[in-house]
Structure 1
């Protein structure tokens, strides 16, 4: 063996040990495997992005590279990766709840620069600067989640709208036009949570078992458990879609409930706008939603479920813009209020509608305001039903 070859081998070993210092063997092995698929120039660039970080942050960068899609592996700017990693670790060092997040969860649900196949961009600096003043004095992750949930909509000025340009918009794309789909809103919310060091991922189904379309929302990880929430928040693990998610058909994957995962272990997260794309990792979380729904059923009184929708006029029932958001009050025969709520308006998710539970069969009065003033409709309710009201 020539002295030149030996010298080259020693230099290569020293170089690699410097790149992967503080990186666990399992992540190092997967990273080396991923980098074997790119050009020598790209490999050198990505290895430099690992080596140039503080030793405590190198494993995080290596993890991102290890499980990166081939498209991102080939094209994602190293500067974006570096900025993303540095700010993710800054959040971990800054916020008390972030310090407690287990490293595997931090790597997979805080550190990632994207949730699905949205346009890649450096969103983390803007979100960090936006949210830091709101959560900097908080000590509890529940408070932080609640604060972000309630504040984000007013900060980014984005509303649900079917006229958005595409379903999988990045944060800046949604904020530019002030509208997004449920998927775009979920990306916004998940990125906001991650910017504050809160583990988050997108969840959803490609098709409700009722065949009423798809839906996406967000999940957050608190004290070892995953909870669901969304851009228009209710309490954690409370939401209009739980009754649908809880009826998922386990025998058919198209009706499963999925959560995204940066680390791809074989199951793909289904994206209805890119049905053949299997590059986004997924986790089957159907059983958890079925269990949550069953618990909700036990907690609820044995009432009668009534769905209420309001439209501008009878001819507007197929148009999102034809929906009217109006407060509904339902009273029993004695005049006591037994239920109330607000119908879905034109900017609400197309899957959203008002559902109330009435205590028993009987005659009820539905009160609401129309263009002509207060209206009272007397309705006989004997079983679950849908009621359509009109504003004109």
Structure 2
């Protein structure tokens, strides 16, 4: 007996004729009923999400209902998914024609390219279908980008060949280069193409859309703040059908290909416990987390998954391998003074306590396990003024410990 490809006999045990007094056939009916109940709950949740989205649309509800009713039968489920998870700004503004065209050209790619046909529906919905990457202006790019990039992948025999072709040719096709002189960080594709300039975010949005235009699952990844240096960075991840895993790349493709590049050494030292120092990847559907956008931290409608641990593993950083112990005390005029001390990385507190006092053994310190080659904030209360003092430090890359005397000037 099977349900959704699952052998229910295996769930209840084909060799067992009863389970604590329950007959085998009764057990099968119970399991079948549970499966049906789960299906009903999932369907109800999806309907509720769509109804909530329509309610948020206000006067634009008629446009969304038009998109839902006019979507071809084979695309209705996709349209429902797209609308159910649209941010409120889009629910109130995007027109039916825009949504219908976006979905139609997403399916055009799915039907045209063999690798796109292999993408599971849930991945296609979340990482090919969406018209936006982050919070950028909503451009009508899908048809244009399909036409622009199809010529580079028409002879590709595999998805890998296709994504490499897009990545290699995008610079020549869109004629945009990295520059801090761009007008803003979160530029849409055509805003970047009109200027010929973009930030790492703008470049990532361009590449993300190029991949999606030819049916390659793609999303923007990045960090609000490195742990190893000042600044943020964004790049792109692609989902490959051969191993069903995510891999990173950038607008400027590394000569070694995907999963290679300067950013890995820094990303591998992200801090998954910190909002600002984590590595994120964007998601259309809600995840319970949001992608912190450094140009507007008030925006919380860009959903995300925390992928920090994957980059740590990819970078080859093993537990304990890059630990640097901070040994902290405050010694002034040859005398140790006890003060409250705390060590943090962004919004993540590593440890807090008191520095050793004059009667403590000289081998004793306030200690915190940090990581090599990263930025931290040490804060303490000045024993004379009572004011909180903060100091930024960078741990050494080649030492197992660092001794800090808080009384010493930098």
Q: Tell me the TM-score normalised to structure 2 length.
A: 0.65
What residue in structure 2 maps to residue 276 of structure 1?
A: 298
Deviation at 1:152, TM superposition (A): 0.5
Give the Cα separation in 2 of the matches to 1:76 and 1:60: 16
What residue in structure 2 maps to residue 170 of structure 1?
A: 188
- What are the within-5 Å matches in structure 2 for residues 17-56 of structure 1? 26-39=45-58, 41-56=59-74
CA 1:66/1:177 → structure 2, altered by over 3 Å: closer, same or farther? same
Deviation at 1:253, TM superposition (A): 2.1
- 2:272 touches 2:306 (CA, 8 Å); kept in 1? no
1:232 aligned to which of 249, 252, 270: 252
- 2:222 touches 2:235 (CA, 8 Å); kept in 1? yes
Gaps of 5+ in 2: 1-41, 320-396, 399-410
1:122 aligns with 2:144: no
- What are the within-5 Å matches in structure 2 for residues 377-392 of structure 1? none
Deviation at 1:181, TM superposition (A): 0.1
1:106 aligns with 2:124: yes
- 1:95 touches 1:139 (CA, 8 Å); kept in 2? no
Moved more, 108-117 or 248-257: 248-257
Gaps of 5+ in 1: 1-22, 298-382, 385-392
Deviation at 1:217, TM superposition (A): 0.2
- 2:137 touches 2:188 (CA, 8 Å); kept in 1? yes
What residue in structure 2 maps to residue 73 of structure 1?
A: 91
Give the Cα separation in 2 of the matches to 1:29 and 1:88: 25
- 2:268 touches 2:317 (CA, 8 Å); kept in 1? no
Q: Tell me the TM-score normalised to structure 1 length.
A: 0.68
Deviation at 1:249, TM superposition (A): 2.0
- 1:24 touches 1:59 (CA, 8 Å); kept in 2? no
Deviation at 1:37, TM superposition (A): 2.3
For each residue in 1:180-209, what CA deviation from the matched residue of structure 2 results, as whole angstroms up to 9, or x when unmatched? 000000000000000000000000000000
1:259 aligns with 2:281: yes
Give the Cα separation in 2 of the matches to 1:43 and 1:53: 15
Deviation at 1:36, TM superposition (A): 2.0
- 1:27 touches 1:59 (CA, 8 Å); kept in 2? no
- What are the within-5 Å matches in structure 2 for residues 291-330 of structure 1? 291-294=313-316
Give the Cα separation in 2 of the matches to 1:229 and 1:296: 23
Deviation at 1:24, TM superposition (A): 5.6
Secondary structure, counterpart of 1:294 in structure 2: coil
- 2:50 touches 2:84 (CA, 8 Å); kept in 1? yes
Deviation at 1:126, TM superposition (A): 1.1
What residue in structure 2 maps to residue 288 of structure 1?
A: 310
Secondary structure, counterpart of 1:250 in structure 2: coil
- What are the within-5 Å matches in structure 2 for residues 218-229 of structure 1? 218-223=236-241, 224-229=244-249
CA 1:37/1:250 → structure 2, altered by over 3 Å: closer, same or farther? closer
Give the Cα separation in 1 of the matches to 2:146 and 2:63: 27
What residue in structure 2 maps to residue 91 of structure 1?
A: 109
What residue in structure 2 maps to residue 378 of structure 1?
A: none
For each residue in 1:46-89, what CA deviation from the matched residue of structure 2 results, as whole angstroms up to 9, or x when unmatched? 11211112100011111111001011000112211111000000
1:208 aligns with 2:230: no
1:245 aligns with 2:267: yes
- 2:238 touches 2:247 (CA, 8 Å); kept in 1? yes
What residue in structure 2 maps to residue 183 of structure 1?
A: 201
Look at both structures and tell me which one has the larger radius of gyration over its CA atoms: 2
Secondary structure, counterpart of 2:63 in structure 1: helix
Give the Cα separation in 2 of the matches to 1:24 and 1:275: 34
Give the Cα separation in 1 of the matches to 2:57 and 2:134: 22
Give the Cα separation in 2 of the matches to 1:43 and 1:249: 41
- 1:200 touches 1:221 (CA, 8 Å); kept in 2? yes
**Alignment length (residue pairs):** 276
How large is the Cα RMSD of the aligned pairs? 1.8
Secondary structure, counterpart of 1:151 in structure 2: helix
Deviation at 1:296, TM superposition (A): 10
Give the Cα separation in 2 of the matches to 1:101 and 1:227: 15
- 1:80 touches 1:121 (CA, 8 Å); kept in 2? no
